[in-house]
């Protein structure tokens, strides 16, 4: 299908790494790459208004097909003018396909070539999600970028299980492609293959033959170590088209993001900045800090000195007080800070790539973060 209002430009590749500077133009705005997409699962990035999300510097957000189909129902979102109008977000939206929910609800799921059948986590009602149904929901939501339905498996899994999921992912991608009917929505394929170089290459090559506008690397951050994930990206990215955007789904920490950019990834999403923000953890250039710690009780300094946002004037002492008093403003302010920090990290990465200085930038950040030893809420 022709998508005349979408264009991807690869502007530069860092001379000393695989880091890419790109630009994705959509009908609702330009996305400078690499970029991080805040997760708005149910049509809201938890605790933040759309105005606040824009103030973080985010250019695109993510919505969730499965959750929005259950509540309030895609037909209601469509009747309200689509997801953009419904949640007052006038910039691009990417919707995931529901494939990860099939994986995460596996104990309730039956999967065959037709699709997945499982029980609603809300009321136990029976739900059938097929490739065609996933596309239908995403078209009703009106997102700018939709994702194919894929088959995600837990890692580690035996080779036969991963091979079966890879083959089904390609078949489902073909069906999603055939079902897509909008010229103002593009569809990204998702590469599976576990941690196996041969399976990743084969799956990527089969999906590239189908000529999607963009490609995601899926099936990671589901049980493997960070080092295994980075290695998988190293042998997967070379088999993805240079002239299409590359999206790593569901990842991750600032360390993960820079490692993935170094290996050629352009787009990210993850609940980590907001989930950790709600649990009193702030990301900074000196590593994550726990805002409930006693050390912040009388600290008048901001979360990160020199990092300017509309809300950066609040002191560590005040933010700690909000969490200790269980005031909702605390999670809101830290969620905002973390998303703004991620957006600024992407901005700095783009500048470093443009200057062929990404490796130096990477090393400086890793050295600073390595001094911190913090457990994240994943």
Sheet holding 29-33, edge to edge: 7-13, 20-26, 29-33
Q: Which of these, 309, 245, 235, lies nearest to 35 by C-alpha position?
A: 245
CA distance 312 to 325: 20
Instruction: Give the H/E segment covering residue 356.
Output: none
- For 112, other C-beta atoms within 10 Å of its C-beta total 8
Q: Which of these, 319, 332, 343, 211, lies nearest to 269 by C-alpha position?
A: 343
Identify the active-site residue in 150, 266, 269, 344: 269
Instruction: Give the H/E segment covering residue 20.
Output: strand 20-26
Give the C-alpha distances (Å, rounded to integers) separating 212 from 82, 207, 277. Answer: 24, 8, 35
Residue 112 annotated among the catalytic residues of the structure: no
Q: Convert 244-268 to b/e letters by CB count within 10 Å (16 or more is b).
A: bbbbbbbbbbbbbbbbbbbbbbbbb
Q: What angle do CA 349, 355, 357 make, to 5 degrees?
A: 65
Identify the active-site residue in 96, 144, 150, 256: 96
β-strand partners of 128: 117
With beta carbons less than 8 A apart as the criterion, state whether 63 and 41 touch: yes
List Cβ neighbours of 114 (8 Å cut-off, separation of 6 or more): 130
Residue 356 annotated among the catalytic residues of the structure: no
Active site residues: 96, 269
């Amino acid at each position: 299908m022709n998508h005349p209002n979408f264009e991807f430009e690869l502007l530069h590749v860092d001379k000393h790494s695989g880091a890419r500077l790109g630009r994705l133009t959509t009908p609702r705005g330009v996305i400078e790459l690499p970029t991080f997409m805040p997760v708005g699962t149910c049509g809201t990035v938890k605790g933040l208004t759309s105005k606040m999300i824009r103030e973080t510097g985010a250019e695109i957000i993510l919505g969730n097909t499965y959750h929005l189909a259950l509540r309030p129902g895609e037909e209601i979102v469509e009747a309200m003018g689509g997801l953009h109008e419904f949640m007052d977000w006038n910039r691009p939206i990417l919707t995931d396909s529901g494939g990860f929910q099939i994986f995460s609800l596996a104990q309730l799921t039956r999967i065959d070539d037709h699709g997945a059948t499982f029980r609603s986590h809300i009321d136990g009602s029976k739900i059938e999600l097929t490739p065609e149904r996933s596309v239908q929901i995403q078209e009703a939501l009106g997102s700018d970028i939709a994702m194919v339905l894929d088959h995600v498996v837990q890692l580690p899994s035996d080779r036969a299980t991963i091979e079966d999921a890879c083959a089904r992912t390609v078949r489902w991608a073909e069906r999603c492609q055939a079902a897509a009917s909008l010229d103002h929505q593009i569809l990204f394929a998702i590469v599976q293959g576990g941690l196996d170089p041969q399976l990743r290459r084969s799956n990527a090559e089969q999906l590239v033959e189908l000529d999607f506008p963009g490609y995601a690397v899926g099936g990671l951050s589901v049980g493997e170590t960070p080092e295994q994930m980075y290695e998988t990206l190293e042998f997967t990215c070379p088999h993805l088209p240079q002239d299409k955007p590359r999206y790593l789904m569901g990842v991750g920490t600032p360390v993960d993001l820079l490692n993935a950019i170094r290996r050629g990834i352009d787009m990210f999403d993850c609940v980590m900045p907001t989930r950790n923000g709600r649990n009193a953890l702030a990301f900074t250039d000196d590593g994550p800090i726990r805002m409930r710690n006693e050390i912040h009780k009388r600290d008048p300094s901001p979360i990160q000195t020199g990092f300017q946002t509309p809300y950066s004037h609040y002191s560590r002492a005040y933010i700690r007080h909000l969490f200790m008093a269980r005031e909702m403003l605390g999670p809101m302010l830290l969620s905002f800070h973390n998303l703004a920090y991620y957006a600024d990290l992407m901005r700095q990465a783009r500048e470093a790539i443009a200057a062929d200085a990404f490796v130096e930038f990477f090393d400086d950040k890793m050295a600073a973060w390595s001094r911190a030893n913090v457990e994240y809420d994943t």
